[in-house]
Amino acid sequence: MKLIFASNNLHKIEEIRSYFGEGFEFITMKEAGIDIDIPEPHETLEENAREKSTTIFRLTQQNCFSEDTGLEVDALNGEPGVKSARYSGEDRNYARNTNYLLQKMDGITNRAARFRAVASLIMDGKEYQFEGVCEGSITTETYGDKGFGYDPVFKPEGSTFTFAEMSLEEKNKYNHRRIAIEKMAEFLKNRR
């Protein structure tokens, strides 16, 4: 079964390739010959994930999926949440977003946070959503240089290391995105 993944994010593509279910294959937008930047104009991860998958479905009429993630920090009332990519400005700069978050959290002792991923699958024209959550905390400085986004300041529950200090294999033990995508793969398996 072949699906189009509605994203141009090379980090996400690499990650999802590392755990995508056996018997399923996905191709990137680039491989499908689609060269657009899909907007994320909505106030929720669910709506933005749907926007991405339905945009690709409208263009191709093919089965496809997307994924939208937000980092939700308790002490910041769930921020940056749906604004995670553009927290410190429109140009989606990972390092600046991370530093901006650390500044906002300066002096705050409640460091609890979670990554929440929502996958949106369009299968035979119908949409299905799957959620993956990883609970953890925000460190007070950056640690590690692997991964992407907020990985250097996010320590998953049960680990003494941030995501950016882990190999991809290790990150996948906790990975919010893996949880959402594996739920989707399970759903697809049961439909066959």
Asked if 91 is an active-site residue, the reply is no
Encoded one letter per residue, x for contact with ligand IMP by CB under 6 A and - for no contact, window 29-68 reads -----------x---------------------------x
Q: Which of 136, 149, 166, 174 binds ligand IMP (CB under 6 A)?
A: 149
First to last CA, the chain: 10
Q: Provide the minimum distance between the beta carbon of 110 and ligand IMP in the complex, in angstroms, as a whole number.
A: 20
* CA-CA-CA-CA torsion sign (148, 58, 29, 2): positive
- Point out the residue whose Cβ comes nearest to ligand IMP: 149
Q: Provide the minimum distance between the beta carbon of 17 and ligand IMP in the complex, in angstroms, as a whole number.
A: 14
Instruction: Give the integer Cα–Cα distance in Å for 169 and 78.
Output: 28
Instruction: Give the integer Cα–Cα distance in Å for 18 and 21.
Output: 9
- Hey, which residues does 135 pair with through a beta bridge? 114
| 64, two tokens | 């496809």
122 vs 147, which CB is nearer to ligand IMP?
Answer: 147
| 130, two tokens | 């799957």
What residues make contact with ligand IMP under the rule CB under 6 A?
9, 40, 68-69, 71, 84-85, 92, 94, 97, 115, 147-151, 163, 177
Residues recognised as catalytic = 68
